Amino acid sequence: MITNIQPKPDAVMVGRHAKVKSLEPVTSTCSPSPAEVVEFSEKKIMLRVHRYMSMGTIVQLHLDGKFSLWKVFCCIATGETFHLGLELVQLVSTAG
């Protein structure tokens, strides 16, 4: 039996660039920060970012013309950058 597996159109590729913005009252006035996708699954994503974010912080993620709300579940120092683990809260908007 041959199975034809088609990639999901919404699949995020590792290495893609994104922007992430904290929605905490103190830092929400800052512009979105650049990020790079390190790992991705349907409900979680790991980004490489240049600043620390606390667990539980709600962030807005801009990626491939879409933005969505995510919650930080971990932030791990990796030298001069951080691996930011996010859990999907809600898909807010899609382009098109």
pTM: 0.74
Tens-digit pLDDT profile for residues 68-95: 999 999 999 999 999 999 999 976 665 5
pLDDT band at 7 (very low <50, low <70, confident <90, very high): very low
Look at residue 19 in the predicted model and tell me its pLDDT: 86
Q: Is 47 exposed, middle or buried (0-12, 13-18, 19+ CB in 10 A)?
A: buried
Look at residue 10 in the predicted model and tell me its pLDDT: 47
Give the C-alpha separation, 8 to 19, whole Å.
Answer: 22
Q: How many residues does the chain have?
A: 96
- According to DSSP, residue 70 is labeled E
Contact 23, 59 (CB under 8 A): yes
Tens-digit pLDDT profile for residues 11-58: 557 778 888 888 776 555 677 889 999 998 888 999 999 999 999 999
- Every domain of the chain and the residues it spans: 17-94
Q: Which CATH number fits domain 17-94: 2.40.10.220, 1.10.630.10, 2.60.120.260, 3.40.50.720?
A: 2.40.10.220
